Chains A and B, each alone.
Chain A
Amino acid sequence: NAGVTQTPKFRILKIGQSMTLQCTQDMNHNYMYWYRQDPGMGLKLIYYSVGAGITDKGEVPNGYNVSRSTTEDFPLRLELAAPSQTSVYFCASSTGPHTEAFFGQGTRLTVV
């Protein structure tokens, strides 16, 4: 069972570059989430989606964009990468905020 798959697992970006973090799930979940986790900290919600075509901002959306054209995919776009975006990024999916969320293995991003 694939569950939630994130790619890439690791990436080094230069300041000002752009990239897309990919997230796909095969559980037919309507809800999907993007979080970032800085060292020693909890997860902060960047963006989330309650279904295809619907996205909304979380706690720390600045510098990021998302789209949700299909139920399966929820890519996260970084434009003009900055050192402050160095973090571990987790994607998650669930049937709703009242049920278990399943996470991908994370993407470790370093901006230099």
Chain B
Amino acid sequence: RKEVEQDPGPFNVPEGATVAFNCTYSNSASQSFFWYRQDCRKEPKLLMSVYSSGNEDGRFTAQLNRASQYISLLIRDSKLSDSATYLCVLGSSNTGKLIFGQGTTLQVKP
């Protein structure tokens, strides 16, 4: 089983839609969780960290469910500029590794 699994999509949504991505992980020792955004042919950049209590940054909400071993990202009121690949990332303080999921592609259409 892969350490991190994501539905690759693509998710095609109209502007203004709400879209949600999930990511499951297998290593219960994973201690830090992130969502990164990657634009076509560019390097990944941090979108937001994910905390057990959930966190929100404008139109973006991230949540962590340790019992079920998944994290989620909710994007409200989608914009054309949200079109990108969203990468789920796990960090292990035990090993120092940062493990990336396959990524989920979002296309927002006018």
Contact = CB atoms under 8 A, between A and B. Distances in A.
Nearest to A98: B32
Given A40-B8, A43-B87, A98-B93, A33 B44 contact: no
B interface, size bucket? 20 to 34
Contact of A104 (B8, B43, B87, B100): B43
A42 B6 CA distance: 10
A91 B77 CA distance: 33
A interface, size bucket? 20 to 34
A56 B87 contact: no
Interface of B: 4, 6, 8, 31-32, 34, 42-46, 49, 87, 89, 91-93, 95-103
Interface of A: 31, 33, 35, 40-45, 48, 50, 56, 58-59, 90, 92, 94, 96-98, 100-101, 103-106
